[in-house]
A and B are shown apart, each in its own frame.
Chain A
Amino acid sequence: MVEQPRPPQGDPDLLLDVRDLRTYFHVMDGVVKAVDGIDFSIKRGKTLGIVGESGCGKSVTSLSIMRLLDMPPAENPTGEIWFAGRDLLSLSDHEMRKVRGSDIAMIFQEPMTSLNPVFTVGDQISEAVMQHLDVSGREARDKAIESLRVVGINNPERRVKQYPHELSGGMRQRVMIAMALSCDPKLLIADEPTTALDVTIQAQILELMRKVQDDFDMTLMLITHDLGVVAETVDDVVVMYGGRVVEQGPVDDVLLRPKHPYTEGLLASIPSNGRRGERLNVIKGTVPNPFNMPTGCNFTPRCPFRFEPCPNHDPRVDDPGGPPVACWLWKPAPGTSGPAPRVREGASTASGTQTASGEA
C-alpha cells in the first residue's frame, strides 16, 4: 500500500520505515504467516498506534523489528526495516544487540513478570545503562535514580533498592518505562503497556508516556487492541487483520472516517451509553485459522460488503494517489474499468463523508 515511491535508504523524516515485512512460523501443523507483508512508517517524534484483535500479528511485528523472535519456529523476517538509515534485518546479532535498549527500547504488557524477582529495581535499570554506556557503577546508579524520578516515582533513592515484589503493578510499569528510557532511545515500542493495569492507572501511564515523549523527543509505537487508548494517544494508526495491514492513516481519518469494513466493524462494535438496551453489533464470523487463511482479501468471509473480486485478488496492490486501504471497495479491481465502488459513489460512510481519492 505504498502511495509515493520511497527513497531506497529511507526518508530522513521517517524514523522507522517498514517495507514488506513477513514473519512466518514453521510448526508441525504447517506454516503460520503471522506477519504477511506489512508496510508502515513512523515520522520522527510522532506516535503510531497499531491496533487489531488478538492474533492479528501486532506483537510479532514489534518482536520482528527488535529481532527478538526465537529462530527455530520463526524464520528470519524478510523485507526491510529501515531505522535511522540502516536496515535492521541486515544487521548482525552483535550489531542488533547494540541497537536494542539504546536506539530502540521496548516495554511489555505484563509488568508483573517483566522484572527479574531476584534483583532490585535499581540493579536492573543500572544494568541496562551499563550495557550501552561507558559509565561507572555509581553513575549508572545515579541514572537509575533519575530515571525513576522522571517516570514519577516518589522517593527514588529509596525505591531504587527495592525488589519488584514490593511495588504495585502501576509502579512496576513505571519502572519498565524508566528502564526503557535510561539509555535515551529514539524509538520506544510499547506492546500493550496498559492492558494489565486498571483504568485509573492506565490513564496515568498514558499521560506519563505522552509527557516522556515530549521531554525526550522520542518516537512512540504503541500496540494495543483498545481503540479508546488509540483515540487519545496516537497521531497515526495502522489497523491490522490476519497479519496484514488493512487500513492506515492519521487517527482522525481512520477513527472518524473509517474506510475498510473491518475498521467500520470494530468501531461499530464499541458499546456506547447512548445505545443502551440495543443489541451489540458484532463482526460476523471468527478470526480465520492461521494455517488456512482465506485467499484474496483475508477478511472476505466476514465482510458484509464482499463482492466479486474479493476472494480472488489480494487488494494490497499499489494504487498511487489512492486511499490507504486494502479493499476493493476503494481500489479499482483488476479486470474492471473505472473507479472503485465507494470512490465512484462519493458516498457517505457510516460515520462521515468520504474525501475524494487523491488524499493519502
Chain B
Amino acid sequence: MTDPTRTVSPIDEAIATGIRPDIEAANEEDFEVSLKPLSQWQLAWRRFRRHRLALVGSVIVFIMIFLAVLGPVIWPYDRLDLRPITRPGGSPPSATAVFGTDNLGRSIFELVVNGARLSVAVGLVTMVIATSIGVTVGALAGFFGGRVDSLLMRLVDLIIALPFLFIVLVAATFFGQGDPRLLMIIFGLLSWPGLARLVRALFLSLREQEYVLAAKAVGVGNFRITFRHMLPNALGPIIVSATLIVANAIVLEAFVSFLNFGIRATDVTWGTALSNAQGYLVLGNWWWAFFPGMAIALMVIGINFMGDGLRDAFDPRARA
C-alpha cells in the first residue's frame, strides 16, 4: 500500500544521508548515573550465588555428573578384576578397596563410579523428554485456551490417571527386558503431565501481560509470541521443575531396579547395585548397599538444594 503523497520516513532519511535529525534530548538523561548493564540471566546468577546451600548442592551435582561422564574412563569397571575376599560376601572397606568389595571381590568404588553414568543418564534423559513434551503441551494449552486447552488437558488427565508404577514395572520387564533406554522413555512419557499443568498455569497468566498485547499489535504471529516472547519469561519455574524431575527419575530408577523390574541386573547402575547387595545385608555386609545408597541420597539432596537456589534466582522480586 504505497502512497506517493507521503514523504520519506525521517528514519530512512537519516540512515540514507547520515545526517542526524535535530532533536531535543530527553531531560532525564542529564542526571543519569552510568551503570554496567546486566541481563536478566546475570541478575539471576547473582541471586543464586547468595544461597550457600544451593552452591553446595551444585557442587555435589557437578561432581556426580563428572563421575558419570569421566568416571568409567578413569576407573573402569572390570568384572574380572577380583580382589581378595576376606569375609563371606565380600571384603569391608580397606586400603585396597575403599568402599569394600562385592561377593566376588569387585571394587564397590568402581561400581558406584560406573553406576553413576547410567543412573544420571536416566535422570537427564527423562528430564529432557518430559520437559520437551510438557512445555510444548502446557504452552499451547495455556496460550490458545478454548478447545485446544480442553483437549490437551484431557490428555494430561488420562496419563495422570494411569497407574504409573504398574506400567513401569510391567513395561520395562516384559517389553524391554530391562533395557535402560526403554525405561528412560517410559519415565519421560509418564512425567510430563505434571510439568504441562504447571506450564499451562504460567502461560495463562503470562497471556495477560501487556507486552504480549504489544507484540500482537506489532503483527507478531501466535507461535512466535508463545515460544519466543512468553517462554523465556516462564523459564524460572520450568527449570526448577526440570531439576526435580531429574531427582525423581534417579530415585525411581533405583527403586524399580532394586525390585528387579527396572534395568537388568547385569547393567551397572546404583539401583542394580542395591538389588544385588540386598541379599548380603543379612550377613552384615553393609558397604555394598551403603555406598550406592549414599550416592543416590547425595545426588538427590544436591539436586534439591540446587533447585531451591534456582527458584530464588529466578524470582525477580528477590534481591540480586
Contacts and interface: CB of A to CB of B under 8 A. Distances in A.
A272 B24 CA distance: 32
A100 B217 contact: yes
B15 A143 contact: yes
Given A113-B209, A142-B15, A103 B1 contact: yes
Interface stretch (A29-37, A161-169, A251-259, A316-324): A161-169
A108 B210 contact: yes
Contacts of B27: 200, 204
Interface stretch (B4-12, B80-88, B240-248): B4-12
A179 interface: yes
A103 B218 CA distance: 10
Contacts of B37: 161-163, 166
A186 B3 contact: yes
B145 to A, nearest CB: 7
B232 interface: yes
Contacts of A182: 11
Nearest to B218: A101
Given A127-B220, A182-B11, A149 B23 contact: yes
A184 B1 CA distance: 12
A244 interface: no
Contacts of B29: 153-155, 171
B196 to A, nearest CB: 22
Interface stretch (A115-123, A230-238, A260-268): A115-123
A117 B15 contact: no
A18 interface: no
B52 interface: no
A150 B14 contact: yes
B219 A68 contact: no
A43 interface: no
A293 interface: no
Interface in A49-100: 66, 68, 72, 84, 97-100
Interface residues of B, number: 42
B262 to A, nearest CB: 40
A171 B26 contact: yes
B253 to A, nearest CB: 35
A245 interface: no
Contacts of B232: 118-119
A306 interface: no
A116 B26 contact: no
B11 A143 contact: yes
Interface string A155-198: 10000011100101011001010010110101000000000000
B28 A152 contact: no
A47 interface: no
A314 interface: no
Given A100-B216, A162-B37, A217-B7, A150 B23 contact: yes
A106 interface: yes
B146 A72 contact: yes
A106 B200 CA distance: 28
Interface string B6-45: 1101111011000011011111110000010111100000
Nearest to A205: B26
Contacts of B219: 97-102, 128, 131-132
B221 interface: yes
A172 B23 CA distance: 18
Contacts of B39: 163
Given A100-B219, A118-B233, A204-B26, A68 B10 contact: no
B229 interface: yes
A149 B233 contact: no
Contacts of A143: 11-12, 15
A349 interface: no
Contacts of B40: 117-118, 163
A255 B282 CA distance: 96
Contacts of A72: 145-146
B284 to A, nearest CB: 57
B214 interface: yes
Contacts of A155: 29
A291 interface: no
Nearest to A44: B5
B210 A114 contact: yes
A153 to B, nearest CB: 6
25 contacts: A72-B145, A97-B221, A99-B219, A100-B216, A101-B217, A108-B210, A108-B214, A110-B210, A114-B210, A114-B211, A127-B218, A143-B15, A150-B23, A153-B26, A154-B29, A155-B29, A161-B37, A163-B37, A163-B38, A170-B26, A171-B29, A174-B26, A179-B214, A179-B218, A181-B11
Closest A-B pairs by Cβ, 10 of them: A101-B218, A101-B219, A184-B9, A113-B210, A100-B219, A116-B211, A118-B232, A128-B218, A106-B217, A114-B214
